[in-house]
Amino acid sequence: MEYQKWLIEIRPEIIIKSTDFSLTEQFQNLTIRPILKLLNNSIIAFSKSFLASLEITFKNKTANEIESLISNLFNKHPTFKIYLIGMIISYLTKEELSIYLDYRKEINKRIYILLHERLRSQISLLVS
C-alpha cells in the first residue's frame, strides 16, 4: 500500500456535523483531530515522560493546580510543544504538509488548543 494512502487510512473517523468551515477549520477537523485521536496514547505517554523529566508530579495537587501545571507546559517549555508538533506533522500526507506549511502559525495555534484540552480532559491518565 502506498504510504500517503496508508497515513489517511489508519486515522480514526471523526464525525463532524457542520461542513461550513474555513480552510484551517477544515484542516483541523478533518486532519488534525483524527491524528490526535490516533496518537492519543503516545501523546499521553510523552507528556508523562516530559513531566517526569522536569520532576513534576501531580501528587497532592488540586485539580486547579494540575490544570495550571499543564498550562505551564505549553507556556514555559517550548520544546514540549515542538516535540508534540513533530509527532503530529509526521502523520501528514505531502498535500496536508503543504497546507500546514502555508498556514503553520494558525494551525499550530489550533493544535496547541486541542492538545491542551486533550491533556486537561485526561488528567487521570497523566496522574496514573
pLDDT in tens, 65-79: 888 888 888 889 999
pTM here is 0.90
Domain boundaries, the chain: 24-127
**Which pLDDT belongs to residue 17?**
79
**Percentage with pLDDT > 70 across the chain:** 98
For residues 128 and 125, what is the distance between their CA atoms, to the nearest angstrom? 5
| Angle at CA of residue 81, ends 76 and 82, nearest 5° | 120
CA angle at residue 47 from 66 to 71, to 5 degrees? 40
Q: What is the DSSP letter of 77?
A: -
* Phi, psi of 60, rounded to the nearest 5 degrees: 55, 30
